[in-house]
Structure 1
Amino acid sequence: MKKIWYYIVLTILVMAGVILFTPKYLYLLWNLILAWIAYLLSYMIANVKKKEWKGKAIIFFFLWILFYPNAFYMITDYIHFQQLNFYSGNSYGIVYDTSLTLWMIFAFHVLIITLALLLSFHAYKKVEKKLIGSGKFSKLIFLSFISIGVGVAMCVGRFHRLNSWDVFLAPKVLFSYVKEVFSPRYMPLAGLFASLHFLMIELLERKDDY
């Protein structure tokens, strides 16, 4: 629980920094809020009592499935670095830009995306513990299932620019794009994103195994 309070304080500080110094990148904060929603839903699932399981937990789990990919999706926000010029070349070689604002943008991206990945990990582990328990094979199947869902969602979100709530606002459009993900054009990308999620969860879970 102490770790989450640390994340909350860090979130507040980073949000204040972005608003004050780099307001052009407010979209990062919106994505971070979506990552927090995924974590809060996992917290609700973890604290549902057995007698309430059939009601509340099913609703929370459905919403969690919709919002969870947003947390891991933030890793693709690194592509926005292409809009920045960190260095330039001339006849004397490479010259690096030492603008404080430029490197603050870099720092905010790294902090926010890392925070979103950590929230993604903790959200996943809370749900896994509640639904799956400690069975290794069951955990592997569950992680594979969630990773595939994340891979599909990341393709729909990044390449077709749809959001979690479009399952309610534009379900036909959303499902048409989901089907399109299983085409030769997008399936390798979905597989790449799914593998990245799977490996990242495994890596974070084993971070203390040394």
Structure 2
Amino acid sequence: MAEYSEGSSDDEYETMTTGQLLAKLEEAWVNEKFSPELLYHKTEIIDCIEEQFEQAESSIGRAPKGDFVSSIHKFEIERIKFVLCSYLRTRLQKIEKHVVHILECEAALGSGSESRLSGEELEYAKEFVDNMDTHLNSLVLQHMPANFQKMDRKKAVVRPNLDSYVFVKAVEPVNGVAVDPEEDGADRDSVDLSPGNQYILRYRPVSSLVHSGAVKLI
């Protein structure tokens, strides 16, 4: 069985089986589907899965024609490819929808801060916004009245709705999650999350918990 090593901290590594790796991909896919914001790109997992694809397809290519085990493996590869493609497609849709906001966040990152985008996604986002500006300037704004030909991009930015409600399932115990993060004071409502239980909460107060893996979206 193939293994995947994930750095947990410094020189410590947690060994994951192929099944655990695929479970991580499916979890990332579901989180991305239901999160209103763009999450961090799972570069290490995707790189490992693509390497597994190459090894599996090479093995299938050497198998006798009509081999039953190879047919099962081929079916499994197609299923994994579907999840991977859906994950990447969901991210691209979010990038296109919130591209200006995402690039603003990228520009504000400090030295050593982690980007949410892969290198390819960042290049795509920059090209997409350039093409969008070109389209607006050459095909739309020039046909508008003079006082409408200048657009304030900051006022037109589409941002993710972090106050939308999501279904979450606790993976770890978490105490004191604010039900209404906008309410100040010691009397504001909060809830304790127990592992295995499901909740309906605003996304904003659980955003960091999704990133850390303490909860997952469902």
**Structure 2 length-normalised TM:** 0.35
* Higher relative strand content: 2
Query: Which has more helix, going by share of residues?
Result: 1
Which protein shows a greater Rg?
2
